[in-house]
Chains A and B, each alone.
Chain A
Amino acid sequence: ETGVTQSPTHLIKTRGQQVTLRCSSQSGHNTVSWYQQALGQGPQFIFQYYREEENGRGNFPPRFSGLQFPNYSSELNVNALELDDSALYLCASSQPGQGEETQYFGPGTRLLVL
Chain B
Amino acid sequence: GQQLNQSPQSMFIQEGEDVSMNCTSSSIFNTWLWYKQDPGEGPVLLIALYKAGELTSNGRLTAQFGITRKDSFLNISASIPSDVGIYFCAGQLTYNTDKLIFGTGTRLQVFP
A residues contacting B by CB (< 8 A) are 4, 6, 31, 33, 35, 40-45, 48, 50, 55-56, 58-59, 90, 92, 94, 96-97, 100-108, 110
B43 CB–A CB distance under 8 Å: yes
For B51, the closest partner residue in chain A by CB is A100
What are the residues of chain B within 8 A of A97 when measuring CB–CB? Answer: 96
Q: How far is the CA of A107 from the CA of B40 in the complex (A)?
A: 7
Return A49 CB to nearest CB of chain B, in Å. 10
B residues contacting A by CB (< 8 A) are 1, 3-4, 6, 31, 33, 35, 40-45, 48, 50, 88, 90, 95-105
Q: Give the contacting residue for A105; candidates B43, B50, B98; CB below 8 A.
A: B43
Q: How far is the CA of A2 from the CA of B96 in the complex (A)?
A: 21
The 9 closest A-B pairs by CB, nearest first: A42-B102, A105-B42, A45-B99, A44-B1, A96-B96, A101-B96, A96-B97, A31-B97, A107-B42
Residues A94 and B3 in contact, CB atoms below 8 Å apart:
no
What are the residues of chain A within 8 A of B90 when measuring CB–CB? Answer: 42
Residues B97 and A55 in contact, CB atoms below 8 Å apart:
yes
Residue picked from A43, A50, A108, most chain B C-beta under 10 Å? A43
- Given A48-B97, A55-B97, decide whether A102 and B48 contact each other with a Cβ distance below 8 A: yes
What are the residues of chain A within 8 A of B102 when measuring CB–CB? Answer: 42-44
Residues B100 and A103 in contact, CB atoms below 8 Å apart:
yes
Residues B97 and A45 in contact, CB atoms below 8 Å apart:
no
17 more contacts with CB within 8 A, not counting A41-B104, A55-B97, are: A31-B97, A33-B97, A40-B105, A42-B4, A42-B90, A42-B102, A42-B105, A43-B43, A43-B88, A44-B1, A58-B1, A90-B43, A94-B97, A100-B31, A100-B50, A101-B97, A103-B33
Return A30 CB to nearest CB of chain B, in Å. 9
